[in-house]
Amino acid sequence: MPLLFERIKDIRNHLERLRCDEGKSIGFVPTMGYLHEGHKALIRESKVQNDVTVVSIYVNPTQFGPSEDYERYPRDLDRDMAICEELGVDVVFTPSDEEMYPEGFSTNVNVSCITEILEGEFRPGHFRGVATVVLKLLNIVQPDRAYFGEKDYQQLKVVQKMVKDLNLPIQIIPVETVREKDGLAFSSRNVYLSEEERDSALSIYKAFQLAQKMISEGKRQSEVLINAMEDLIRSHPHVTKIDYITITDPELSPVQEVREGDRILIALWVGGTRLIDNWKIKL
């Protein structure tokens, strides 16, 4: 079983011993738990590249808006611990809210510009919560490398920007999105979907495939691609709202004509569940 820590001072003592006395390299995978194949890919990458792998499991309240799914977000520590054991995780960190945000806590990290578009527009304050908790976790664990999924592409960019701007001596390692056989990206939130809703959720991947096919036929205008994806998605009965369908360069600036490596980013609602996904364009 991995060693389980709930207190900051305890995990710090333990990791300091490994880092300083034993000279071990540390890989860190921050998660909100309810682990799936996407998380497992991050953990496996960390296992390959580091002596010690630390996983945090913490549903961070400050990155959820007041009407979002913080209360019902799926949680199952026993199941997560079994998965961590199976993968050979060394240390699991599960702090309480009091441990992370004791009374009087009043410091927040604001990464400007890229947090104001896309997810930032539809989830005000979300990235402030993310950047703050990620910086705290990085300071607590002090890893050599930290692993983030491309599934949350904008989050990855925000974390990379924060690490660069604040000169943190940590390598951020992006990991490609892991998908189910039919293309649906693994997400802890997929458990909210009924069978019919899951069918409609697949419209996201079908839209990526449609755009990719049009691109291979020579269509490069973002507007044309976006309209086609929107029509396809709207034909699915359980898609209740599209927050955005956009095509950007790798740094999240919208493009009019697509190039290799650009990203299609989609956020939409299926019934009461909000899903996000993105796709790297190949020419």
Phi first, then psi, for residue 54 (nearest 5°) are -115, 130
Based on the residue annotation, tell me whether 39 is a catalytic residue of this protein.
yes
CB of 92 to ligand AMP, least distance (A): 13
CB of 222 to ligand AMP, least distance (A): 24
Phi first, then psi, for residue 17 (nearest 5°) are -60, -45
CB of 10 to ligand AMP, least distance (A): 23
CA–CA gap between residue 277 and residue 180 (Å, rounded)? 13
SS (H, E, C) 57-99: ECCCHHHCCCCCCCCCCCCCHHHHHHHHHHHCCCEEECCCHHH
- Binding interface with ligand AMP (CB under 6 A): 31-32, 38-39, 41-42, 148-149, 151-152, 175, 177-178, 185-188
Question: What does the DSSP 8-state code read for residue 221?
Answer: B
CB of 179 to ligand AMP, least distance (A): 7
| Helix 37-49 with 77-87: angle, nearest 10 deg | 40
Catalytic residue among 14, 36, 39, 126: 39
Whichever of 4 and 32 has its CB closer to ligand AMP, that residue is 32
Whichever of 222 and 274 has its CB closer to ligand AMP, that residue is 274
CA–CA gap between residue 53 and residue 29 (Å, rounded)? 8
Whichever of 64 and 269 has its CB closer to ligand AMP, that residue is 64
Whichever of 152 and 262 has its CB closer to ligand AMP, that residue is 152
Active site residues: 39
